[in-house]
Amino acid sequence: MKSERNLALGVDIGGTKVAAGLVDESGNILFQTRVAMPARESAEAGFAAVQSAIEAVFATQPSAKSLLKGIGICAPGPLDPLTGVILNPPNVPCWRNFPLADEVRRVFGISARVDNDGNAAALAEAIWGAGVGYRNVFYATLGTGIGAGVVFDGRIYHGRTGSAAEGGHLTIDYHGPKCGCGKRGCIEAFCSGPAIARRAKEKLAAAGRGESRILPLAGGSTDAVTAEIVAEAVRQGDVLAAETLRETADLLAIWVGNVIDLLEPDVFIFGGGVAQLMSGFFGRMQEQLASWCVNTRAGEMPMVLAKYGSDAGIAGAAALCHL
């Protein structure tokens, strides 16, 4: 018999906001709301924001509570998805070893699961999004950082302690730029949005101000250069900007090659704002794989854009209730 409980409440916790939404069993987001996250205040204040986001959903959708399978929560790591404890995330310093899943269960009397952003978004793509029809999904979000998630047969691969799939911190160059994690040459230190802007600025400095469109688009300020501005300069025919994004594609291809040699996923899904900017280069990346992968059939693996955009957190959190 089909369950009456066919909705999930997804809560997406970030460094500045908590978004919460109702998601049906096909992955459609029916309703969503958001509140500010006081991530640098007390643990209680942080939890009060989560509580008020969830209560705001119930206030607007009072009938939803009886239809809920559970409450899924995604948050920045490190966290323990097996126990639902938030460990010591740099972006949410209010929580240190905070038992978030237990607290949500205690307050609302509804089962709750917690996982990190990358794993949760990967699961939503695998069961409802661009990964539908594929058994083994590798998901990467390219944005301010690079997050990742691995889903095998509809289940998140967590590793021994829940810390697997830190794909953004695979290094491709031990002489490379220092990453926020402390390592050198992580793909995040080359291809996150800020890293793309940094490489463009390095090229500008080396080339002199010259003819590039990048600085005028940034209002003349190198501090204002972003990956989006680099992409806009490419659209306006800027040579240096185009070289920056081609190089980004080539760096990503090395990394994708490593992932394929280790996991050989059926599909590689890219989410996040930088993925949109890079989607025109997926073909180039596929061609480059021959140089960076021992797998002779690597070029067959589809590279696709994620279905969920800024809603990936809510959808991902809700997907956790469908495990």
Nearer to Zn ion, 179 or 241 (CB): 179
Interface with Zn ion in residues 162-181 (CB under 5 A): 169, 179, 181
Nearest approach in angstroms of CB 185 to Zn ion is 8
Do residues 187 and 195 make contact, with C-beta atoms less than 8 angstroms apart?
no
CA–CA dist 171, 302 (Å, integer): 23
Q: Please give the structure tokens belonging to residue 151.
A: 């889903």
Nearer to Zn ion, 32 or 248 (CB): 248
- 239-263 helix and 193-207 helix, angle to the nearest 10 degrees: 140
Nearest approach in angstroms of CB 182 to Zn ion is 7
Nearest approach in angstroms of CB 191 to Zn ion is 11
Stretch that binds Zn ion, among 90-98, 186-194, 217-225, 247-255 (CB under 5 A): 186-194
Interface with Zn ion in residues 122-151 (CB under 5 A): none
Nearer to Zn ion, 6 or 88 (CB): 88
Return the half-sphere exposure (C-beta side, CA atoms, 13 A cut-off) of residue 221. Answer: 4
Considering only 101, 186, 269, 303, the residue that binds Zn ion (CB under 5 A) is 186
Nearer to Zn ion, 134 or 255 (CB): 255
Do residues 12 and 316 make contact, with C-beta atoms less than 8 angstroms apart?
yes
Nearer to Zn ion, 128 or 138 (CB): 138
| 40 alpha-carbon distance from chain centroid | 22
Nearer to Zn ion, 30 or 262 (CB): 262
Nearer to Zn ion, 169 or 322 (CB): 169
Do residues 23 and 7 make contact, with C-beta atoms less than 8 angstroms apart?
yes
Range 99-125 burial, b when 16+ CB lie within 10 A, else e: bbbebbbeebeeebbbbbbbbbbbbbb
Nearer to Zn ion, 172 or 179 (CB): 179
Q: Please name the residue that has the structure tokens 């463009």.
A: 200
| Total of chain residues touching Zn ion, rule CB under 5 A | 5
For 139, 175, 188, 241, 256, the CA distances from 148, given in Å and listed in that order, are: 5, 23, 11, 26, 12
CA–CA dist 230, 219 (Å, integer): 13
Nearest approach in angstroms of CB 229 to Zn ion is 24
Q: Which amino acid is at 157?
A: Y
CA–CA dist 322, 237 (Å, integer): 46
For 8, 199, 263, 272, the CA distances from 259, given in Å and listed in that order, are: 32, 24, 6, 19
Considering only 34, 183, 198, 203, the residue that binds Zn ion (CB under 5 A) is 183
Residue ranges in contact with Zn ion by CB under 5 A: 169, 179, 181, 183, 186
